[in-house]
Amino acid sequence: MMLTAALALALAAAPDTSHARPPDAAQDAPAVTVHRQPALPTVALRLSIQADDPPGYAGAGHLFQHLLLPTLEDQVARVGGRVQAIRGSDAIVYTVVGPASELDYLAGILRSTLRAPATPAPGMLAALGALSGERAAERETAPQYVRAALRARLFPADLPAAGTDEAAARLASAPLDEVWSEIYRPDRVSIVAVGDVQLDAVRRAFRSLPPPASRGPAFLPEDTVPSFEADTPQATRGWIGSAWAATDADPAALSVTARLLRSYLRRRMTRSSVDVEHWWTHHGQALALVVATPDSLVPAARRTVDGALTTLAGNVDADAVRDAAASVRRDLLFLSRSPERMAELIGEFADRGAGGDGVQQFYAELGEVTEDDVRRVLESLGAADPAKVYVPPQRIPAAQRR
C-alpha cells in the first residue's frame, strides 16, 4: 500500500524530477529539467525556445520548423525514434523520443535546430505553402475558427502560429539568419528530459549551444492580422463561442471551474457538443466555451451559454468541486502516460514561467481547490463581458435541395 501511496501521484511526487541551471555553468546554459521514468530504456527530449515571433515576421518560428522538420525526421529515424515540432503561444518546441542509449545523438539533433538557417533555405517554397495551408485552415472550418476568433479578441498580441500573408511575403525574401537572431538566444532555451536518463547526462548533452547571431533585421514593421469578421467558415451546425479573460485567476481553481461548467452543460445540452477549455499562456488566462448545436436549438443554446456562469454558481457544492478536481488530475495523469507527453506537459508549464516543477505544483494545487475558490472565479468571470463569436449553420437553398 505504501508503494501506491508514494507513487500514486507521479506528477506530484517530486523526488524523480530534477531541474537545474548548474551554478558553474555559463549564463547562456539552458535550464534543464529531468523527470526519471525508468520503466523503459527510452528518453523524450523536449527543447523549447521561449520567444514570440519578431514584429512584422509573424509565423517565422513555425516557418523555421517546417524548414527543418524533414531533415530532423530522417535523422531521428536512424535510431528508430520520432520527432515533432510545435509552435505554441509561449515557445517554439521540438521533441524527439528514442532509446535512452542514444541520448547524445538525439540531443545533437535538437541542438542543430538552434543554428541560424541559411538564405535561401532549401524547401522554402514548400514550407511557405504549408504555412499558407495552416492559415487558411484556421479560418475555414467552424471549430478552429471559433477558437481563433475568440483568442484574437482576448489576446490580440498572441498572433497565429502560421502568421499572416503579409509576414509570409516578407519572410520569403528576408535574410533568415537576421530574423532568427530576433528569436534565438541561449538563455531562452529550456530542456525537459523524461525517461531512463540522469540529470548530469542531459546537462552534458546540452552543455554547448550555438552562440546567438549579433545582428537582427534593420527594420521591424508591425503585423497586421486580417479581421475574422470577413470570413465565412464552413458549419453544418450553429457554433457558439464565449470566452472570458481570467488573467488574475488562480489557475487550479480556473481549471476546476472549467471542468464543472463542462459537466454541467453537457448534462443540460444533451443534443449539443460542449467544450469548456482553460486557456493558459504567457499572454494570460481565459475560460472558453464552445458549443455546436443543431439549427433548431440555436436560440435555446445561446440563452444557456449566456447564463452559464450564473446557473453554475447556483449548482456548485463541495462534492462537485472535489469530483471535478479529481477528474482534472486523472486527465493529467492519463495525458502524460508516455514519456513524450509527460515532457510536453512539464515543458508547457516551464515555458509559462512556472519552472520545471510547475506541473507538480499545479497538480497539488488542484487537490486543494475549494467551493469558495470556484465561486470567486465565477464572480470574477461574471464581472467582465465575454468575447463572443457565432457561426451560423450553412443552409442549402430549398431550390437546390433536390
Partner 1 sequence: MTSLRIFRAAAGAALALVALAGPTWAQDRIFVRTEPGTPVVAVQVLVGVGSADEPEGQAGISYLAARAVTDPARGVLDSLGAHLDVDPQKDGVGFTLTAAPDAWAEATRVLMVALFRDPVDSAATVRQRSAIVRELGARESSPADALEREREKAVYGADHPWGRPAVGTPAAVGRIRVSQVDAFLRGQFTPERTVVAVVGPVSEDEVREVLAPHMPPGELRGDSVPPPAPAESAVHADYNSITTWVSATWRFGPDADVEALRMLAHLALDRVSFGPSRRSVYNSRAEVVQYAGGGEVRLTVVIPPREAEQWAGQLRQAVGDYADQALSPGVFNDRLRRYRGERLLELDLPEARAAQMARSALLGDRTATLVDFTRLTPQRLQDAAKGLEPPIVVFLGPGGDQGA
Chain residues binding partner 1 by CB under 8 A are 1, 3-4, 7-11, 16, 35-42, 77-82, 97-102, 196, 326-327, 329-331, 333-334, 336-340, 342
Cα 143 from Cα 385, distance rounded (Å): 22
Minimum distance from CB of 336 to partner 1 (Å)? 5
Residue 135 vs 329, nearer CB to partner 1: 329
Residue 200 vs 331, nearer CB to partner 1: 331
Q: Is 89 exposed, middle or buried (0-12, 13-18, 19+ CB in 10 A)?
A: buried
Residue 2 vs 218, nearer CB to partner 1: 2
Residue 3 vs 396, nearer CB to partner 1: 3
Cα 203 from Cα 398, distance rounded (Å): 67
Residue 36 vs 185, nearer CB to partner 1: 36
Residue 119 vs 338, nearer CB to partner 1: 338
Do residues 261 and 320 lie in contact, with contact meaning Cβ atoms separated by under 8 Å? no
Minimum distance from CB of 102 to partner 1 (Å)? 7
Residue 70 vs 226, nearer CB to partner 1: 70
Residue 42 vs 50, nearer CB to partner 1: 42
Minimum distance from CB of 82 to partner 1 (Å)? 6
Minimum distance from CB of 350 to partner 1 (Å)? 18
Minimum distance from CB of 259 to partner 1 (Å)? 11
Minimum distance from CB of 301 to partner 1 (Å)? 24
Minimum distance from CB of 326 to partner 1 (Å)? 7
Minimum distance from CB of 205 to partner 1 (Å)? 15
